[in-house]
Structure 1
Amino acid sequence: MKMIKLTKKQARQFLLIKHGLIGDYKFVGKEGILNYTKQVGCIQYDPIDACGKNADLVLLSKVKGYKKKMLDELLYQDRKLIDYFDKNLAIFCDNDWIYLKRKKKTYDFLTRHNKNVEMACDLVKKTIKENGPMSASDFKNKEQITWTWGNKSSLSRACLEHLYYIGELGIHHKKGTIKYYDLIENCISIKILNKPDPNKTEIDYLKWNVLRRISAVGMLWNKASDAYLCIENLKANKRNEVYQELLKDKKIIQFEVEGCKESLYCLSTDLYLIKEVIKNPKLKKRCEFIAPLDNMMWDRNLIRELFEFDYKWEIYTPQSQRKYGYYVLPILYGDIFVGRIEAGYTKKNKLLEVKNIWFESSIKPSKKLESEIAKHIKKLEKFNQEEL
Structure 2
Amino acid sequence: MRTASLTAIRRITISAQGYAARSRTGTPREVEETIRRLSCVQLDSISAVERSHRIALTSRVGTYRPGTVGRLLAQGHVFEYWAHEACLLPIEDWPLFAAQMHQGGRGWYGAVGETHPHLAEEIVAEIRERGPLGSRHFDGTSEGGMWSWKPAKAMLDRLWNHGDLVIAGRQGFQRLYDLPERVIPKPLLDAPVPDETERLRTLTVKAVAARGALTEAGVVEHWRLRGGIARIRPIVDSLVVDGVLERLRVEDDGSPVLVTAGADLDRASPSASVLLSPFDNLLWDRPFARRVLDFDHLIEVYKKQHERQYGYYVLPFLRGDRIVGRADLKSERTEGALVLKAFHRERGVRASAALDDALDRALDRLRRACGLESVRR
TM-score with structure 1 length normalisation?
0.87
Alignment of 1:182-221 (within 5 A): 182-197=178-193, 199-200=194-195, 202-221=196-215
> Which consecutive residues of structure 2, in runs of 5 or more, have no partner in the other structure?
none
Output one character per residue of 1:295-333: Cα deviation in whole Å (capped at 9) or x when no partner: 111111111111211111122233322221121111011
Output one character per residue of 1:98-141: Cα deviation in whole Å (capped at 9) or x when no partner: 111011123279557331333211011111111122122212x3
Counterpart in the other structure of 1:344:
330
The match for 1:29 among 27, 30, 42 is 27
Counterpart in the other structure of 2:151:
155
The alignment covers a number of residue pairs equal to: 371
Q: Is the 8 A contact 1:217 1:298 kept in 2?
A: no
- State how far apart, in whole Å, the 2-side matches of 1:109 and 1:353 are: 36
User: For residues 109 and 265 of structure 1, do their structure 2 counterparts lie closer, same or farther at Cα, with a shift above 3 Å needed?
Assistant: closer
- State how far apart, in whole Å, the 1-side matches of 2:106 and 2:316 are: 38
AA at the equivalent of 1:121: A
User: For residues 121 and 297 of structure 1, do their structure 2 counterparts lie closer, same or farther at Cα, with a shift above 3 Å needed?
Assistant: same
Alignment of 1:64-103 (within 5 A): 64-76=62-74, 78-103=75-100
Counterpart in the other structure of 1:307:
293
User: For residues 22 and 126 of structure 1, do their structure 2 counterparts lie closer, same or farther at Cα, with a shift above 3 Å needed?
Assistant: closer
Output one character per residue of 1:59-111: Cα deviation in whole Å (capped at 9) or x when no partner: 111114444343333223x3211112222200001110011101112327955
The match for 2:345 among 359, 366, 373 is 359
- C-alpha displacement of 1:173: 1.9
Q: Is the 8 A contact 2:16 2:212 kept in 1?
A: yes
User: For residues 7 and 267 of structure 1, do their structure 2 counterparts lie closer, same or farther at Cα, with a shift above 3 Å needed?
Assistant: same
- State how far apart, in whole Å, the 1-side matches of 2:2 and 2:174 are: 49
Identity of aligned residues (%): 21
User: For residues 369 and 264 of structure 1, do their structure 2 counterparts lie closer, same or farther at Cα, with a shift above 3 Å needed?
Assistant: same
The match for 2:279 among 293, 313, 318 is 293
- State how far apart, in whole Å, the 1-side matches of 2:198 and 2:325 are: 41
Counterpart in the other structure of 1:128:
127
Q: Which moved more, 1:64-73 or 1:364-373?
A: 64-73
Output one character per residue of 1:209-242: Cα deviation in whole Å (capped at 9) or x when no partner: 222222332211134776245323x333222212
Q: Is the 8 A contact 2:102 2:163 kept in 1?
A: no
Q: Secondary structure at the match of 1:303?
A: helix
Q: Does 1:368 align with 2:354?
A: yes
Q: Secondary structure at the match of 1:100?
A: helix
AA at the equivalent of 2:129: E
Q: Is the 8 A contact 2:271 2:321 kept in 1?
A: yes
Q: Secondary structure at the match of 1:316?
A: coil
Q: Does 1:331 align with 2:317?
A: yes
CA RMSD of aligned residues (A): 2.6
Q: Secondary structure at the match of 1:99?
A: helix
- State how far apart, in whole Å, the 1-side matches of 2:239 and 2:312 are: 39
The match for 1:316 among 290, 302, 310 is 302
The match for 1:175 among 167, 171, 174 is 171
Counterpart in the other structure of 1:38:
36
